Structure 1
Amino acid sequence: MDKQQLAEFLRSRRERLRPEDVGLSSGPRRRTPGLRREEVAVLAHISTEYYVRLEQGRAPRPSAEVLAGIASALLLTDAESGHLHVLAGTAPNRGGLHRRDVRPSILALLDRLPQTAGFVVSAMFEVLACNDLMAALMEDFRELAPRDRNLARRAFLDPNRSLYGVSDATEFRHHAVMRLRSAHVRYPADPAVTGLLDELLAGSPEFARLWERHDVQAATVLTKSFDHPLVGKITVDCDSLDLTDRDQTLVLYSATPGSRDAEALALLNVLGAQTFSTDSP
């Protein structure tokens, strides 16, 4: 149970709600944002004293039933409710180190997708593998050191290098913070994860600001646009598939067959293949 993180998460979720969101009257004398602690306690069917101690980081581990009541009172989403249980120690925690080895079958799948740009990222946003079209669309991450393959580090500490003309850079930064917060809960003792977070918190005021929001659920990204220097603007469908056994994500960019975007991807595939052939010994 991470009492401090649990306390901060509860406060952040309580302060975002308005009384009318849960069927209460604002009243003329309400001076602080969000719900009052005693209101949450009533809605969750627990004592005010116990809920106050939870927000102060002084309470013993709550039961699953208490957490369910709090999740209902605070109108938590499924992702937020799951995060609450992990913080409280009532859900499985992976612990140890996050995995960086990609299943051979996934590596083979990437190579069998010539019209789709694909890559695999770890729990901390390091690009672990990519295919040739992805290398042509963004960059050949296979040639980079692990530190330089981290998309979160690039997004916050080296934005000029990281954007690739992408249309949703701001949304990606927000998404990265949310995923890293969840990774930190799952791997609290992994020096790679904690080291990255320390680096981002110290080096990026924007990351620090987003981190303080305690958000854990990202909006689904269905399309993404790139302004590529060789083939111009490309808008692609974006599909993310969770590889749960290794806590990794397979990301695929594709375009509707016969569309201008599909033609641009095909041209980029040819140009990339020529470049790789020229560069090879």
Structure 2
Amino acid sequence: MRVMDGLADNTAQVMGPLGETLLQTPSAVALLGDQTQYTGNARSATFRWFTDPAARERYDPAEHSTNSRVNVALLRAAVTRDGSGSHAADLADVLLGTSEEFARLRDRHEVGLRWSDTKRFVHPRVGRLDLYCQLLLEPDQGQSLLIFTATPGTESHEKLAPLTVLGTDQFAADPE
């Protein structure tokens, strides 16, 4: 996670194996809200996606269905990897009992789905952002580094710049 020291001026975050946000740069907090504050099952982005409508607010609604399917497929892979009795299996069991959408999608048995390299966000202050998400994996600890960038010269690049420069200062009043 020391690599984050060199990424302070970028929009980046480190995720744990079940979608727990471990670290965020200030501009990632400005883009997505502070995702490191959660406890218990809510630490998992997948859990929040299916149990907290606010978890979807900064993502383009046109991509919600795909995001749901990918979340289910990734949790299914984690359960397979970690086995019964694992935190992944417990999380899947909790979601089966609390989210009809999760249960319906899990019954489809989709595997191998992955996130798109391009993500569309809807920020409450700057609007829509089309960002490229580079994903770097650290297999021994199951962590991933996500770095969000915009194509230079695009409207998204212009909108991302204030988030990168100002971080959370400008957006501290945003509901997160």
Please list, as runs of the form range in 1=range in 2, the aligned pairs for 1:98-177 lying within 5 A after superposition: 107-158=1-52, 160-167=53-60, 168-177=63-72
Instruction: Give the distance between the partners of 1:122 and 1:261, measured in 2 at CA.
Output: 27
Correspondence 1:180 to 2:62: no
Deviation of the 1:230 alpha carbon: 1.2
TM value normalised by structure 1 = 0.55
User: What are structure 1's unaligned runs of at least 5 residues?
Assistant: 1-106
The answer to whether the 8 A contact 1:236-1:261 is kept is yes
* Correspondence list, 1:8-23, <5 A: none
1:261 aligns with 2:156: yes
Which SS does the other structure have where 2:7 is aligned? coil
Deviations for 1:54-104, whole angstroms, at most 9, x for unmatched residues?
xxxxxxxxxxxxxxxxxxxxxxxxxxxxxxxxxxxxxxxxxxxxxxxxxxx
Fraction of identical pairs, as percent: 32
The equivalent of 2:130 in structure 1 is 235
What is the CA distance between 1:273 and its match in structure 2?
4.5
- C-alpha contact (below 8 Å) 2:133/2:146 kept by paired residues: yes
Task: Give the 3-state SS of the residue equivalent to 1:240 in structure 2.
Answer: strand
Alignment-mate amino acid for residue 39 of structure 2: A
Aligned CA RMSD, in angstroms, stands at 2.3
Name the one with the larger helix percent.
1
How many positions carry a matched residue from both structures?
171
Q: Distance in 2 between matches of 1:249 and 1:144?
A: 18
Secondary structure, aligned partner of 2:93: helix
Q: Where do 4+ consecutive residues of structure 1 move more than 6 Å?
A: none
| TM-score, L = length of structure 2 | 0.85
Higher strand share: 2
Which one has a bigger Cα radius of gyration?
Answer: 1
Unpaired runs of at least 5, structure 2 = none
Cα gap change, 1:220/1:273 in structure 2, threshold over 3 Å: closer, same or farther? closer
Pairing 1:214-233 to 2, within 5 Å after superposition = 214-233=109-128
